[in-house]
Structure 1
Amino acid sequence: MNENSDSRDWGKKLFKYGIPVAAVLSLGWFVYAVLIAYPQVTACTASWMTVNAIGPFPEQEIAQFNSCLKLNEFGDYLAGSFAPLAFLWLIIAVLIQSRELKAQQDALMDQLVESRKQTNFLHAEQATARAETNSKRFEKFLKLVRLALQDVNRGSPYTRDADDVTFMRYMAKKNADSIVKAIAVLKGDAKPLHGFHPESIVEYAKKIYPYIDELRSLERILSAQDLETYRACHMPEVLEALDELDRFIAQQAAQNEREPAT
């Protein structure tokens, strides 16, 4: 930024002071060239006036008598006199053009910066919108899981009346363990306990079974804050219990296919 501001200040100073100085130098150079050429021009005019007043002379005698510059010599003088001025103004024109190109380049860079800012702003808005959408999806599925799990084990009135996050923090892990235990009882891997109803627990768990893929995908798309809540609500443990339920349902289906039809 400092280099760009220095170059812009230098260009402004050149445009402000350089052109007037060049104009003054050009005028001075022109006056100097006129002062040099003026004696020669006046002498030439006087000698021709003298020749014409005296009378006709042969061309050779006129050439000897006249000390004027020839036209081609006078043209060379003018070319040599004004060549430095032309070169000076050529340099000034190049500098002015480079300044205009620099201004255009700066304008394009400003547009590029603004475009990047707008792009970043749009990306941020899109990310915020996606995060809000995913957060609402998480709240929706959290409520579905809570409604299914709160009937698995009858918790205290505090947990039943609590909000979804509080309920899941305190009861989800316990209910997930109950689902795994109920499946083990139904498979014959564990003994049933008094007052424990594995069939009812599995039926309650089946209410959220269709959403297992959705619940698993949330872990990949949630924001950091929602992901922390996701884990604090023991959703990974609930998913493990649902995976166990998935395997149990698949075993039951395979077993039913192997049984002969009655």
Structure 2
Amino acid sequence: MFVPGSASQSLAAALAAETGRPLATPEYRVFPDGEECASVPDFAGEGAVVVAATVSNDALVELLQLQDAVREAGAGTVTTVLPYMGYARQDRAFEPGEPVSARAVARAVSTGADRVVLVNPHEAGVADFFEVGTVVVDAARLLADPLPDDLVDPLFLGPDASAEGVAGTTRDAYGRGTVDHFEKERDHGTGEVTVRPSGADAAGRDVVVVDDIIATGSTMSEAVAALRERGPERVFTACVHPMLVGNARTKLAAAGVERVFGTDTVEREASAVSVAPVVADAL
């Protein structure tokens, strides 16, 4: 039985439809003192699949409560699907005395799960922090589905070298085009960072800038602004996790992005394709 967190209701419903398994209807309450209570009054089944993107601290607490609630309701096994794992970027202590937040979150989730499914964690190594069996699902190929069919000589760009793999997976799924990435150069005198495409010819071409996550939109909009100097025809952005916090969408539009495409790991207006088929394969 699928049990959705409040931030992942559409994805849980899509998974239920994809697999033919039932969908629970949890209740999400907030007490006068601000504490939350997520419960599963209609749960029935030996196994539970809790689907919850931890897009906020509240969502993380809610996930832990849902794991506990299904155990109380009689679930023999609990699989936790983390479509988006918050704190995954803090995978090491960057300064003395800092926490490894991804490890702390993974350990907390592991206390209530028998198995975990992650979708494109920002750092793949965070899967090792979980104390139960963990599967990592790559949903990048799905980003090709909502792209226009008529892209002109498409160029798929990662906003940095580490994102070229995601861009390449998307290109392969689209079926044509070339792949490249942006390079960052730091002026050691001023500390100013300059972003530029690493040599790709973008003139007259449709460009898709691909990353695993768009959060504030600052890195992506800076990359697109640099790209504009090379005369592309149209510019699109695509990401697995469309967090798009604050004025991110406005930044991208101001930089010249025509459309933003994302999946439903984070349920936003830009969620143009569901990861349900690839997650279902991992269950």
TM-score, normalization: structure 1?
0.20
Q: Please say which structure displays the higher CA radius of gyration.
A: 1
TM-score calculated relative to the size of structure 2 = 0.19
More strand by share: 2
